[in-house]
Amino acid sequence: MSDSRQSSTTLAIQASLKKRYARERRFQWYGRLAVLTGFIFLFILLADIIVKGSPAFTQHYIELDIDFSAEMLGVGENPSAEEIASADFLAVVKDSLREQFPDVTGRSEKKALYRLISIRAEYTLRDMVLADPGLIGTHKNVWLLAHAEAGSYLKGQVDVTAPEAERRVKDAQVAWLDTLRAEGRTESRFNSTFFLSGDSREPELAGIKAALYGSFFTLMVTFCLAFPIGVMAAIYLEEFAPRNRLTDLIEININNLAAVPSIVFGLLGLAVFINFFELPRSAPLVGGIVLSLMTLPTIIITSRAAIQAVSPSIHEAAMGVGASKLQTVFHHVLPVAMPGILTGSIIGMAQALGETAPLLMIGMVAFIMDVPGGVTDPSTVLPVQIYLWADSPERGFTEKTSAAIMVLMGFLILMNALAVYLRKRFELK
Amino acid sequence: MRKDWNLTHPMLRSTYNVKKPLVGAVAILATLSTIGPVQAENRDIVSIVGSSTVYPFATVVAERFGRGTGFKSPKIESTGTGGGLKLFCSGVGAGTPDITNASRRIKQSEYDGCQENGVTEVVEVLVGYDGIAIANSIDAPAMDISLKDVYLALAKDIPGPDGKLIPNPNKTWKDVNPALPATTIEVLGPPPTSGTRDAFAELAMAGGAEALPGLKALAELDASQVDEIKSAMAQLGLPDTLYDALVAKKGKAPKGEDVFVTVAYAMREDGAYIEAGENDNLIVQKLQANPDAVGVFGYSFLEENGDKVQGSVVDGVAPSFETIAGGEYPVSRPLYFYIKAAHVGKIPGIQEYAIEFTSNKAMGEDGYLTDRGLIPLSEESRQQVQADVKAMKPLAM
């Protein structure tokens, strides 16, 4: 009887076994499918950004035979620096373009011709002559930056088979650029402008240096405030504070603060730091303070978790040999908890690096050309620069937007890698 | 166990130095309050706020100004016309902006607010015109519509067969005007915070509503003609409570136009009009993806994206440079910026920036702003504006 019962149980198990295995296999496949879908989305996103953004890292230059005649520049003999600075270098550029293409007549045709060269040419030539006034009265071949639209044709981004009316680069410009290319007067170079200059309304002149510096100053302020305050608060709450209603309330509030939408911190920053303390608008100082308020809960929560995870035996051993409570914490608990604290802080900082919403309220979403020199100079940050470029009507900014996203992502990966490295390094000790 | 720790000898605690980071943090906080105001008083960068429509032009001027002169290039925030004027009128001092851009004229109430806050002298600079394009994808047939069609397609309530207002029943463009295609009405446009939306409501929606006799009669009534206004409202089926609400809002008897405006400016909320955010590029992209949709955005975006979208003919006039400059295209508006005269001479570069903006090189017929899609002023009014900027002539309202 017991045999038959057992065999019936075995039978029942065997019957269901197949089903259970199948269920597990199905579940595994669901999991794989989920991971795969995630990867596909990530891949599409990254591929799109990289394909769109990579042309931004090169720029085309056009070689022109420049006639630095004193007459055309409107300067006398042995001109002073001021005279040179106010000389008409645009006329020189226009003249050399007309020399290159003598057939071009008519006002609108000439205008199209002048559009081949970036507006920076004027300033490039001015700086050249300022550095070497002896150039006046001579001829020289100079490589000048191409206009963004001419550049996009030279990069092969313009579909010349489309009707002319629908293209920004007209047939005449295409012919001129082809001639220049055939004569070896065009050249593709690495786009150093993108890394060495601030924002601009000309796509070929726009760079991320100002935004990078702004992000750096902002994050510096954030780190200087949020890290010490956050870690101190975590240590006190975890190790010293008594457990009572008040500390419970504080704990709940910290957890809730971590979930507050970031724009709220921007409103707070506007009301308190700008309107009440009268700190300057658009400054990394205010941006940093606002973002540190935003990252504080993250740092406190992760630091507390890291301190909590330290084995009690370390505590007890230190107390056992007569260490004070403070010595226990700073000599024994904190070093062990440090990898966790640093990881949490760096992830909090990475969040702050990608934030735009609170900065909108305090005036950091603005057109700012000059590279900030300190925490009180007006500046923007990387994600804001991306937003501003995405909003620009000029077509050339599309690739700049993707390129700036690549730079921002590069920094985020770098920061996360640093977090991993620090964790590994401290764990080994 | 926690209790035991408190038994640690107090001597040990006091000898141990952990206060450094704390002291550092306190020091940073303390310096904040001291360097802040000092820095704000010494600002050497012109601060500009205001309209997102003027922003693309102002930034181009700021860039040339920064490259070409010894001044630092101004910082420009795009806050919208209303937000910009609010900041601008909040007072005098380095913490407030020096210039605000506007895609409409300053309102009397805003001007009064300025005066109250000590911003007494405001210089008005008219820089040019901008058109609002009603456009669709080039893959779809071009539209030829009237302002009346726009109103009938997009208003929340329209007059029904008996003249009373009913919720807009029109589903397709054919319902609006039999000459139009039978595609579903789907219009992507700016949200209420945008100056483009204000101008669109004022020029296109109100312009279209005036083409309807019942509404036009109402708009022409004066505040004293209370009975006429009420009877006109009754004809439209509007409740008396609306009139009372307007009295409460204005603090005095409303004009017929005030009632008209509340009716004419109300846009559909049933999904036919989609608020697509302030990003005009996004609207262009969505139009490209959906050939049946129609978009509302600034003319400069139409000009830049001529290979993707086409402007509709409105009241028989196609949007173009010439038609907007000549005032023939009905949905166009003036663009301004306002200068705080009290800051001129205190913060370097304000007047110089304004002179650069109004120079022939910038906003003349061949100027670099004209290349960017700004519709220039006539020769005569440009000279007037240039003279006013030189003299810093304050606005009187």
pLDDT, tens digit, for every residue of A285-304?
999 999 999 999 999 999 99
Asked whether the beta carbons of B101 and B267 are under 8 A apart, the reply is: no
Triad A398, A401, A407: Cα angle to 5°: 145
Instruction: Give the other-Cβ count within 10 Å of A91's Cβ.
Output: 14
What are the residue ranges of helices labelled H in A69-183?
70-73, 81-85, 89-100, 107-114, 120-131, 148-154, 171-182
Write the CA distances from A401 to A50, A146, A207, A364, A384, integer angstroms.
11, 19, 11, 18, 11
| Interface contact B8-A325, CB threshold 8 A | yes
The C-alpha of B28 sits at a distance from chain A's nearest C-alpha, in angstroms, of 8
Helix (H/G/I), strand (E/B), else coil: B314 = strand
List pLDDT tens digits, range B296-327: 988 878 887 888 899 999 999 998 888 887 77
Q: Which long-range contacts (CB under 8 A, 24 or more apart) does B319-323 make?
A: B319/B131, B319/B133, B321/B375, B323/B131
Joined together, the tokens standing for residue B53 give 């429509």
What are the phi and psi torsion angles at A168 (to 5°)?
A: -80, -30
- For strands B187-189 and B294-298, give the pairing: parallel
Write down the pLDDT at residue B103.
Answer: 86
Q: Which residues pair with A140 in a beta bridge?
A: A66
Instruction: Classify domain B43-130+334-391 at the CATH topology level.
Output: D-Maltodextrin-Binding Protein; domain 2 (3.40.190)
Taking the CA atoms of A98, A102, A105 and A111 in sequence, report the sign of the dihedral they define. Answer: negative
Helix (H), strand (E) at residue A343: helix A334-353
Write down the pLDDT at residue B278.
Answer: 67
Q: Among B11-25, B50-64, B239-253, B305-319, which stretch is predicted with the lowest mean pLDDT?
A: B11-25
B8, B18, B304 member nearest A330 (Cβ): B18
- B40 CB neighbours in chain A (<8 A) are 278-280
- For strands B273-275 and B187-189, give the pairing: parallel
* A88 lies within 8 A of chain B by CB: no
The C-alpha of A36 sits at a distance from chain B's nearest C-alpha, in angstroms, of 28
Asked whether the beta carbons of B114 and B100 are under 8 A apart, the reply is: no
CATH class of B141-212+266-290: alpha beta
A123, A281, A283 member nearest B67 (Cβ): A123
Q: In angstroms, rounded to a whole number, what is the distance separating the alpha carbons of residues A374 and A396?
A: 30
Write down the pLDDT at residue A301.
Answer: 94
The C-alpha of A207 sits at a distance from chain B's nearest C-alpha, in angstroms, of 13
Q: In angstroms, rounded to a whole number, what is the distance separating the alpha carbons of residues B136 and B231?
A: 40
| Interface contact B36-A280, CB threshold 8 A | yes
* A241 lies within 8 A of chain B by CB: no
Interface predicted TM-score of the whole assembly (ipTM), two decimals: 0.80
Asked whether residue B5 carries a pLDDT value surpassing 70, the answer given is no
Write down the pLDDT at residue A6.
Answer: 67
- Nearest to B122, CA basis, from B340, B387, B374: B340
Q: DSSP E strands: which ranges in A135-279?
A: 139-145, 186-190
Q: Spell out the residues 6+ positions from residue A234 whose beta carbon is closer than 8 angstroms to its own.
A: A299, A300, A303, A304, A307, A341
Nearest-Å Rg of the Cα atoms of chain A is 31
| Interface contact A166-B304, CB threshold 8 A | no
Scan for tokens 């070689």, then name that residue: A63
Helix (H/G/I), strand (E/B), else coil: B171 = coil
- Nearest to A213, CA basis, from A372, A387, A384: A372
Higher pLDDT, A222 or B232: A222
- A167 CB neighbours in chain B (<8 A) are 307
- DSSP states along B239-302: -HHHHHHHHHHHSSPPPHHHHHHHHHTPBP-SSSEEE--S-HHHHHHHHHH-TT-EEEEEHHHH
- A145 CB neighbours in chain B (<8 A) are none
Q: In angstroms, rounded to a whole number, what is the distance separating the alpha carbons of residues B247 and B352?
A: 46
Give the residue on B whose Cα is nearest the Cα of A115. B371
Scan for tokens 């420009």, then name that residue: B76
Buried residues in A293-332 as b, exposed as e (16+ CB within 10 A): bbbbbbbbbbbbebbeebeeeebeebbeeebbbbbbbeeb
List pLDDT tens digits, range B171-219: 999 988 898 888 999 999 888 767 678 888 888 998 888 888 888 888 8
Triad A297, A302, A307: Cα angle to 5°: 125
Buried residues in B362-383 as b, exposed as e (16+ CB within 10 A): bbbeebbbbebbbbbbeeeebe
B25, B95, B307 member nearest A166 (Cβ): B307
Joined together, the tokens standing for residue A121 give 């040419």
**What is the amino acid identity at position A29?**
W
Chain A window 149-208: which residues touch B at a Cβ cutoff of 8 Å? 162, 165-168, 200-202
- Nearest to B152, CA basis, from B177, B188, B179, B132: B177
Q: Spell out the residues 6+ positions from residue A347 whose beta carbon is closer than 8 angstroms to its own.
A: A298, A302, A416, A419
SS3 content of chain B, % helix, strand, coil (to 5): 45, 15, 35
* A111 lies within 8 A of chain B by CB: yes
Q: In angstroms, rounded to a whole number, what is the distance separating the alpha carbons of residues B283 and A188?
A: 34
Q: In angstroms, rounded to a whole number, what is the distance separating the alpha carbons of residues A290 and A225?
A: 10
Asked whether residue B15 carries a pLDDT value surpassing 80, the answer given is no
Intervals of chain A under pLDDT 70: 1-6, 165-166, 428-429
What are the phi and psi torsion angles at B166 (to 5°)?
A: -130, 155
Q: In angstroms, rounded to a whole number, what is the distance separating the alpha carbons of residues A228 and A231?
A: 5
- Nearest to A410, CA basis, from A418, A399, A398, A422: A418
Asked whether residue B14 carries a pLDDT value surpassing 50, the answer given is no
Q: Which residues pair with B347 in a beta bridge?
A: B344
| Interface contact B37-A278, CB threshold 8 A | yes
- A377 CB neighbours in chain B (<8 A) are 45
Same fold, B43-130+334-391 and B141-212+266-290: yes
- B28 CB neighbours in chain A (<8 A) are 224-225
Helix (H/G/I), strand (E/B), else coil: B126 = strand
pLDDT category of residue B101 using cuts at 50, 70 and 90: very high
Asked whether residue B380 carries a pLDDT value surpassing 90, the answer given is no
Helix (H/G/I), strand (E/B), else coil: A202 = coil
> Crossing angle, helix B20-41 and helix A209-235, to 10 degrees?
140
Asked whether residue B2 carries a pLDDT value surpassing 50, the answer given is no
Asked whether residue B358 carries a pLDDT value surpassing 90, the answer given is yes
The C-alpha of B20 sits at a distance from chain A's nearest C-alpha, in angstroms, of 10
Give the residue on A whose Cα is nearest the Cα of B93. A278
Helix (H), strand (E) at residue B131: strand B122-137
> DSSP label at A167?
-
A229, A282, A393 member nearest B75 (Cβ): A282
Q: Spell out the residues 6+ positions from residue A141 whose beta carbon is closer than 8 angstroms to its own.
A: A63, A64, A65, A66
Buried residues in A233-252 as b, exposed as e (16+ CB within 10 A): bbbebbbeeeeeeeeeeebe
Instruction: Give the other-Cβ count within 10 Å of A358's Cβ.
Output: 25
Domain boundaries, chain B: 43-130+334-391, 141-212+266-290
Nearest-Å Rg of the Cα atoms of chain B is 27
- What is the average pLDDT score of chain B? 83
